[in-house]
Structure 1
Amino acid sequence: MKKTSLAVILSGMAILPINAQDPMIVAHRGASQDAPENTLLAFRLAWKQGADAIEGDFHLSKDGVLVCIHDAKTNKLADRDLVVAESTLSELRVLDVGAGFGADFKGAMIPTIAEVLATVPPGKTIYVEIKCGPEAIPILMKELEQSGLPAQHVVVISFNEVVIRTLKVAAPGLKAYWLRSFKTDRFGKATPSLESVLHTLHESEADGLSSNVKIPEVYIHALKQAGFEWHVWTVNDSGTAKRMKALGARSITTDVPGRMRSSLAP
């Protein structure tokens, strides 16, 4: 991607149009307000609620299987505290990650990436968040090939820019977004800086940035001027969603895809 200096980007922002197209609705760990996160139950419910895409978190097990779970340990969801990277798939599969959500979900298991990919209907999309490191990319490539999902319906996301760079080297045709949260101090100064964000996006060859809602508006304009997409997470109220849409978010990740679909309807 051709690099554009920050000065040039900032000088052009005054005439940059706002893109208020309808954003994709991405189900955060599935319909995670209504079902246990990162389970097949949550993903299937997300599709029923009209999500355009699902987002799932993936770690590598000890025996090299990509499994869908957010944390590096299992104690948040199950009654046993296992380290995912130090546990085999068979050890992880005996855990009940649904009972804590409610009796109706008792028996839900940690799914593999193959099982999650198999839920994706024709024309829908999956956002694969790699929570470990670049060692997951060769395994991910194999699973994607075996799934038969079209490349245009797969997006890889990560907070780790090395993961994004490794993915783009292995599969430059796949979309990849760098994840970054923002915060503002009491003087109104945002971190990280715009310069560092643009530098990381260029160096990793990411297609765009996916951020929390605290990203400064000037950053959004600068990203677009530099040719990057902008996506946002995690939005559960209609007022914020409408504001993110007005700012030009290409997708909105939410725990409540059904409600978000209704709130953004014309």
Structure 2
Amino acid sequence: MGLLVMQGCSGGQSDDRDSTGHQVEIIAHRGDSHAAPENTMASVASAWKKEADAVEVDVFLSADKRVMAIHDKTTERTGDKALPVRETGSEKLRTVDVGSFKGEEFAGEEIPFLEDIIASVPDHKRLFIEVKDSERAIPPVRELIQQSGKQDQMVIISFSLEVVKASKQQMPEVPAYWLRSAPRDQDTGEYQSIDTALLEQVKEHDLDGLDVHYRGVTPELVEASHKAGLKLFVWTVNESDDISALAEQGVDGITTDRITRAQNALGRQP
């Protein structure tokens, strides 16, 4: 089926502001993960340097309950040794080189603590914290957010409904968005549209909206989200035509590995 949004006929750079003047948020996926090792301080710093509107990082708790920025349950894919994150203390996890897999110039990059990433967030920027762990991670994440004084710059996202429910209950002032994949046809593998009925669950649990795979977006989903007073974010969009089309449809934010490409597609000067 392919991308379910239709690109307008602007023929060039698109105006990514809606009728209220709101600008589509460009969210750097795992930091500037195209240019630097994902979920590292190098990646986060590069995203801020490129003037991304927000950065997204993934977090798990270590064995000693420190909040660590890493996507996988183990360090095997991005690290120089394989350790199970939740069963390993933070001190040992910090000995893993999670930079060299991307390039020699990143050798020695450590798994960051969430508090260090939060501290790096500039004024008027936001941090999307994807909780890969269970709802047990919410209390320590909440503590770090409260200690930072940057509550109004933080966002919680998760594929787990229980996690975002717990986040909203414990941090009602922090936006919480439910991550959802786009369904696929069992025979063809083609992406299918995301059911607007999901919005009923979002409203039921006082969440702030959805954050969905862009291939499942339809004009109906965008319209229904906004009519319900909810936000709609999309992930992970790297092609210029798709970025422009989604902005024209009115999504609130676009998560991307390609920050500069997204800025160019939206007609911005970073």
TM-score range, shorter chain: 0.7 to 0.9
- What is the rounded CA distance, in whole Å, between the counterparts of 2:174 and 2:248 in structure 1? 27
**Cα contact 1:19–1:247 (8 A) shared by 2:** no
Displacement after TM superposition at 1:112 (Å): 0.4
Aligned residue number for residue 114 of structure 2? 113
What's the counterpart of residue 41 of structure 2?
40
d(CA) in 2 for partners of 1:41, 1:142: 24
Indicate the SS of the match to 2:210.
strand
Residue 68 of structure 2 is matched in structure 1 by 67
Partner of 1:138: 139
Counterparts in 2 of 1:148 and 1:187: CA distance versus 1, 3 Å: closer
Match of 2:228 among 209, 217, 226: 226
* Cα RMSD for the two superposed structures: 1.9
* Partner secondary structure for residue 152 of structure 1: helix
What's the secondary structure of 1:214's corresponding residue?
helix
Partner of 2:164: 164
Q: Which whole-Å CA distance do the structure 1 matches of 2:102 and 2:159 have between them?
A: 27
Aligned match for 2:239, one of 234, 237, 240: 237
Deviations 1:55-81 (A, max 9, x none): 000000000000000011111101211
- Give the equivalent residue in structure 2 for 1:248: 250
Tell me, yes or no, if the aligned pair for 2:25 and 2:54 is still in contact at 8 Å.
yes
Query: 1:50, 1:189 → 2: CA distance?
Result: 32
Q: SS where residue 167 of structure 1 aligns?
A: helix
Over the matched positions of the two proteins, sequence identity in percent amounts to: 35
Change (3 A) 1:129 1:189: closer
- Matches of 1:246 and 1:94, distance apart in 2: 45
Structure 1 residue 190, shift from structure 2 partner: 3.5
In 1, the alpha carbon distance for the partners of 2:223 and 2:44 equals 33
- Correspondence 1:24-39 to 2 at 5 A: 24-39=25-40
Q: CA deviation at 1:189?
A: 8.7
* Aligned equivalent of 2:202: 201
Q: Secondary structure at the match of 1:183?
A: coil
Which residue does the alignment assign to 1:174? 174
- Contact kept, 8 Å, 1:46 with 1:258, in 2: the verdict is no
TM-score (norm 1): 0.88
For structure 2, which runs of at least 5 residues remain unmatched after alignment? 1-16
Paired letter, 2:107: K
Shift of 1:146: 1.5
Question: Structure 1 residue 263: deviation in Å?
Answer: 2.2
Asked if the contact 1:183/1:214 (under 8 Å) is kept, the reply is no
> Structure 2: how far apart are the matches of 1:261 and 1:205?
32
Q: CA deviation at 1:192?
A: 5.7
User: Counterpart of 2:255 in structure 1: which amino acid?
Assistant: T
- Separation in 2 of the partners of 1:58 and 1:194? 28
Shift of the 251–216 alpha-carbon distance from structure 1 to 2, 3 Å rule, reads: closer
Which structure 2 residues correspond to residues 78-157 of structure 1 after superposition, within 5 A?
78-149=79-150, 151-157=151-157
Q: Give the distance between the partners of 1:114 and 1:154, measured in 2 at CA.
A: 12
Match of 1:55, SS state, is strand
The amino acid across from 1:171 in the alignment is M
Cα offset for 1:84?
0.4
How far 1:35 sits from its partner (Å)? Answer: 0.1
Question: Counterparts of 2:37 and 2:191 in 1: how far apart (Å)?
Answer: 37
Q: What amino acid is aligned across from residue 143 of structure 1 in structure 2? A: L
The two structures have a TM-score, normalised by structure 2, of: 0.86
Q: CA deviation at 1:254?
A: 0.7
Asked if the contact 1:161–1:200 (Cα under 8 Å) also holds between the matched residues in 2, the reply is no
Letter in 2 for 1:262: N
